[in-house]
Amino acid sequence: MSLPTAGFAFRVDSVDGDARTGWLETPRAAVQTPAFMPVGTQASVKALTPDEVASTGARIILANTYHLWLRPGAESIASHGGVVCFMNWPHALLTDSGGYQVFSLAQHRTIDDDGITFRSHLDGSLQRLTPEEAMRVQALLGSDIAMVLDECPRGDAPRAEIERAMARTTAWAERCLQTEPAEGQARFGIVQGGTELDLRLSHLETIAALDFDGVALGGFSVGEPTARMYELLDRIAPQMPTDRPRYLMGVGTPTDLLRAVSSGVDLFDCVLPTRNARNGQALTWGGRVNLKQARHRDDQSALDARCDCSVCATYSRAYLRHLFKADEMLGPRLLSLHNLHFYGALMGKAREMIRVGELGPWVEATLAQIHEGDEIGVPDA
């Protein structure tokens, strides 16, 4: 592998079993890992200002290439100085490539070896996304880290389909590397392989041999059994390059994150904390809290006694429930702020436990507490 992209660096500081802490440095930010990246699909983390997102401890967020390519357009964003200037986010940014939309928008696209033709979900127009176009768009978006275009098969795809997706992803990765990135922009390769361990390890070897600044695991949390994902992560993550960031894409729940951290993963993203917040679900050290349940109507206690975010310091469960029942927009805003703060705190505590060599016992105790107090699926009081 050649020298890393100018202005981009990664180092590991401490190790506990397969888990590790480190620093990811980009031209805009220094990010402690393991780290969770809030998702700002359309240059906005839903319901929150950039300052509020930063207050949760986040120093890197994710934006969606496909959606920004369609609206307002990469050239328009570039005229404003890129996504970080457009949305006034002063820290690091990772952009996905549009590859996930191969899975999520399957009914709106056709795929061939050259690229993907999408029928826009906005106006029905046909749009062509190739590896070269994906990288051109991300260069205009000006992200710190650009992901290569890949094909993400569904979780229950047959082996032959997975192998075709792997071959296409490899070919596209090589084409992405032949394009010119924005100055200082790092590029990550993506490993596919479905739930087949041998395919995953084979594709990891192929992608890791290419000139990427980081390596990501794609194609998880797309319908496969969760236990199988954990099993595969335990086998695959420790085999990923030790000198580059390891990124698990689109995952997940607090349990997912802690299991993957234990396996050696450094970076995560997921819409879950903000999406669940908009539906009245808080994520806490004591499990999920459904604020729409009647049990919280007169509850004057904080949302989470162990949380030091401004929401838990200021508002009662009763008030938060009232906001949702009254359909006040402040409810989703406050819960989004809390949930992202919780994810930041979860990663911060994991880093602390890795440094002192106590991650394993802490993870087991934390997950037991989260599962024991979980309200989702429990009859209303």
275, 301, 330 — which closes off a domain?
275
State the pLDDT at residue 61.
98
State the pLDDT at residue 3.
53
Chain mean pLDDT for the chain = 96
CB atoms within 10 A of CB 154: 17
Question: Angle, nearest 10°, between helix axes 254-263 and 330-355?
Answer: 20
State the pLDDT at residue 1.
45
Q: Is residue 22 part of a domain?
A: yes
275, 305, 338 — which closes off a domain?
275
Q: Is residue 105 part of a domain?
A: yes
Pair (241, 316) in one structural domain: no
Q: Does the reported pTM lie above 0.75?
A: yes
Q: Is residue 377 part of a domain?
A: no
Range of the domain at 343: 281-372
Q: Is residue 218 part of a domain?
A: yes
252, 275, 298 — which closes off a domain?
275
**Quick check: 370 pLDDT over 80?**
yes
**Quick check: 2 pLDDT over 80?**
no
Q: Are 332 and 47 in contact (CB under 8 A)?
A: yes
pLDDT tens sequence across 127-185: 999 999 999 999 999 999 999 999 999 888 999 999 999 999 999 999 999 998 889 99
HEC profile of the chain: CCCCCCCCEEEEEEEECCEEEEEEECCCCEEEECEEECECCCCCCCCCCHHHHHHCCCCEEEECHHHHHHCCCHHHHHHCCCHHHHHCCCCEEEECCCCHHHHHCHHHEEECCCCEEEECCCCCCEEEECHHHHHHHHHHHCCCEEECCCCCCCCCCCHHHHHHHHHHHHHHHHHHHCCCCCCCCEEEEEECCCCCHHHHHHHHHHHHCCCCCEEEECCCCCCCCHHHHHHHHHHHHHHCCCCCCEEECCECCHHHHHHHHHHCCCEEECCHHHHHHHCCEEEECCEEEECCCHHHCCCCCECCCCCCCHHHHHCEHHHHHHHHHCCCCHHHHHHHHHHHHHHHHHHHHHHHHHHCCCHHHHHHHHHHHHHHCCCCCCCCC
Tally of domains in the chain: 2
Catalytic residues: 96, 269
Residue 4, preceding peptide bond in cis (omega within 30° of 0): no
Q: Is residue 95 part of a domain?
A: yes
**Quick check: 374 pLDDT over 70?**
yes
State the pLDDT at residue 380.
81
